[in-house]
Chain A
Amino acid sequence: MTEAKSETGFDPELYKRFPTSGERPEGELEKLEKIWCGPKGWEWITVINNNYVGVYYIGAAMLFFVLAGILSLLMRTQLALPLNGFLEQETYNQLFTMHGTIMMFLFAVPAVEALGVLLLPQMLGARDLPFPRLSAYAFWAYLIGGLAFFCSIFFGLAPNGGWFMYPPLTSMTYSPGINADFWLLGIGFIEISAIAGAIEIIVGVLKNRAPGMTLDKMPIFAWGMLIFACMIIIAFPSVILATTLMELERAFGWPFFDALKGGDPLLWQHLFWFFGHPEVYIIFLPAAAAMSTMVAAVARTPLVGYRLVVLAMIATGFISFGVWSHHMFTTGMPSISIGFFSSASMAVSLPAGIQVFAWIATVAAGKMRFSTPGLFVLGSLTVFVMGGLTGVMVAMVPFDWQAHDSYFIVAHLHYVLIGGMVFPFFAAIYFWTPMSSSRPLSERLGKWVFWLMFAGMHIAFLPMHLTGLMGMPRRVYTYLPDRGWEIPNMISTVGAFLFAVGVLIWIVDMIRNFRPFGPRDAGNVFDSGGLEWLPTGLYSTRSIPIVTTRYPLWEQPNLARDVEAGRYFLPDAPTGDRETLVTSPLNAEPQYLQRIPRPSGWHVWAAVFTAGFFLLLTIQAYWASAVSGVLAVYCVFMWGWLLDRPRIQPTVDIGAGIQVPTYMSGPRSHGWWAMVITLVVAGMILVMTAFSYVFLWSRNPLDWIAPPQTGLIIIATMYAAALVAVRASNAVLVADRPRSPQLATALMLGALALAAGAWWIDLTGWWATGLTPQVSGQGATVFYFLSWQGFFVGTSAIMGLFVLLRFLTGQVEAKRPATFELIGLYLAYTAGQGLISVLLTRLFPGG
């Protein structure tokens, strides 16, 4: 095997120093344990260690699964008989909306994200995630927001427009209550949560792997999570934009989706489904990657076609962004669009098929054991293949013209989601519980759980294929008798309850056997080959191993013994704090030591106030919401203040005499990556805004008025100057001249002033034309560009304040340029975004 060229200049010969010999010093392990100690009392809430947050997260996700499942049982009871009076029309409409919304937003995405939080650090040989407070914040915001959102049912205020909430039904005219606002703002948390998680995962997977774990040796689950996170970054901005635009339309009458005023209901559909379709692959890919992991482990043989599977997952992610309009085949699209989306939709099944055959090949190459995870894996394969095949059917447009919005689609979507995510997730729970709990789950009960869920699932959803062909549309709270729909509906209801009994037994099993947070775990019950099965404490592994294969526990002899004895990297805590190694993205060569913060309350309070901001806004308590928002910003401020600390020593020994820096700035640093990813999210929102602008123009070109005739040059110049000032600020700081801190601060604030001024001129210019946001699609989109830019100018101002405070407290120095760099990136983006916005709105279509 050819050795990879060194990526960073790190000499691979240094690896030969490991495993080190001899005993580790006295007290080193105790010191590690003390630094990584578990929570006591209130600390259970402020804890940030992934071993805790991961379990909390999965617990919350499963809670929402059960809650949404109960809603479905109520729905199925109502539909068991025609014209049943069990649920009233309005109640049913709210319940089906909540069932879909909770399953998709509060269960599916958080669950797979939670799996990543729990497993990835240990799988990759890291001590924790790179931004543990960020994932803890994401969790608390999600939990608080999600529970509050769920409680809207008890007040009759749950949204009732279906989980994809099409306007005009969800506009103020036809949904005057705050139900729709609950959805729009409720989804707000999930969006924040998902993006925070995605940043965490991308950086964690690419920068925190054990040395030697090249991309080619990375666990397949990490690949799945990486692609998942990248997809979130590209897809979620679309739904963030859509929900923001709808809230603006509802609250202020900006007509994005109102055909009477120059908007278009199809704009929502495009924006939503550009997110919505990748969303289901976002849900599927981590589960599929977990399948690939578990199939290999349970069959006790390496995954067949690892590289093909990686390529297949990447291809799935990629192609899934090109199929969104297959949800819109019946909207009257032009034939050429229909053809494109139909082709892409057929194509996306190919990489999924490759994964399925990789699993079958792996089973063939090994010896499958019919443990509970094994059963769930096999069951999932069967169900997912069926769902994928009906997906191919509906990718054929003439068939979709009959099947769309009927129970055939309900059948298809449940087959792919249950087969593609729920069953793999249950397999994962049974498989990885021994890693977190001192007792594994019961194999005896597990088989009951599986067979009840498997049988119940088919009994519930297989008849729905027929029901749809019998003419039953989706989202009906009842149906007329004498059509023959009664029999399949009754069968489906029975199946649903059978499935629920299976879940109930699983809950009982969890209560009886799941014992997390204890001093020891149940061990490598399934004899798996991944690093997460090394003996660990709260500090993860005692030392960070060098990885040379894909299945270290199978193929690197004595690894567990040597890791536990501290014979690899970082057996101690050289800075006396929580640390992990940062390595290079391709070859995982050690780059620097990352200091991980300790728990504090700020991120929890930030989550509470973030949740408060959105919820109070929903119930129209505007002043309270504003106060909550300000407090949230303050908490984030304090949270960030603790970062970018003075460094105690420039380099440390991470093992066997190898020295790495303790501080990093620039494109190598994890903070830089996080900021760039955040800006990609912002950029995607900008792209989708531009799409919306051009789309609405194409629908109503005659409504467009001429842009302001003056100001373009000066605005563009000011934004360009801001960009230059940012660059200069960073350069000046690093140049380390006597007055560098003052100059750098002044340049940064100057850049801010330039950007703010440019924005103001842009805004007043448009205002002077007499265009208002309520009057046309142009008004709505132009003022949205301006509002979005205003939001960035505002947050840049807050960052400017941060910079000023750092300067005044003497924290600005050449040796610690990270804060300036990151804020500089943000400010530069703000200027760039402003430039693009002004060019688009004033030059296209022009006039």
Chain B
Amino acid sequence: MIGCADKREQPRELTGADAANGLAVIERVGCAACHRIPGVAWPTGTVGGSLDGFGNQSMIAGRFPNQPQTLAVWVRDAPSMAPATGMPAMPITPAEARDVAAYLYTLDDD
């Protein structure tokens, strides 16, 4: 029975990360050029997936577990994890990447 424990309940926390700054970083580097991101009115890019409800998603890009550390690496250097991805490395620091991840985790379905 323990094997069926709801793994989604594992808390997604990034200690010391600032979700508000994450939104500012998203706007500064233009993530919305490819992604539709709640909280960013424009652009509403369609190249990558919509990040609506990302907080509840179990996977990143359909391949990786949606966990804080994984996400923080992904947003900064996706090609290092998935060489064929269309998402390039982004010019943000690791601390900024964590802030971005924190913001994305605020995006749940409501």
Chain A residues proximal to chain B, CB less than 8 Å: 81-85, 478, 481
Contacts and interface: CB of A to CB of B under 8 A. Distances in A.
Nearest to A85: B41
Contacts of B64: none
B44 interface: yes
Contacts of B42: 83, 85, 478
10 contacts: A81-B41, A82-B41, A83-B41, A83-B42, A84-B41, A85-B41, A85-B42, A85-B44, A478-B42, A481-B27
Interface string B13-56: 00000000000000100000000000001101000000000000
Contacts of B27: 481
A259 B41 CA distance: 39
Contacts of A82: 41
Contacts of A481: 27
Contacts, number: 10
A484 B46 CA distance: 28
Nearest to B27: A481
A122 B22 CA distance: 71
A85 to B, nearest CB: 6
Interface of B: 27, 41-42, 44
Given A84-B41, A85-B42, A85-B44, 6 more contacts: A81-B41, A82-B41, A83-B42, A85-B41, A478-B42, A481-B27
Contacts of A84: 41
A85 B42 CA distance: 8
Q: Which of B27, B42, B44 has the most CB of A within 10 A?
A: B42
A230 B42 CA distance: 51
A481 B27 CA distance: 10
Contacts of B44: 85
Contacts of A81: 41
B26 to A, nearest CB: 13
B50 to A, nearest CB: 14
A84 B42 CA distance: 8
Nearest to B41: A83
A320 to B, nearest CB: 42
Contacts of A478: 42
Most chain B CB within a 10 A radius of its CB, from A82, A83, A478: A83
B29 to A, nearest CB: 14
Contacts of B41: 81-85
Contacts of A85: 41-42, 44
Nearest to B43: A83
A822 B31 CA distance: 73
A544 to B, nearest CB: 66
A796 B42 CA distance: 60
A313 to B, nearest CB: 49
A83 to B, nearest CB: 4
A478 B44 CA distance: 14
Nearest to B42: A83
Nearest to A82: B41
Nearest to A86: B41
Nearest to B44: A85
A105 to B, nearest CB: 33
Nearest to B32: A83
9 closest A-B pairs (Cβ-Cβ)?
A83-B42, A83-B41, A85-B41, A84-B41, A81-B41, A85-B42, A82-B41, A478-B42, A85-B44
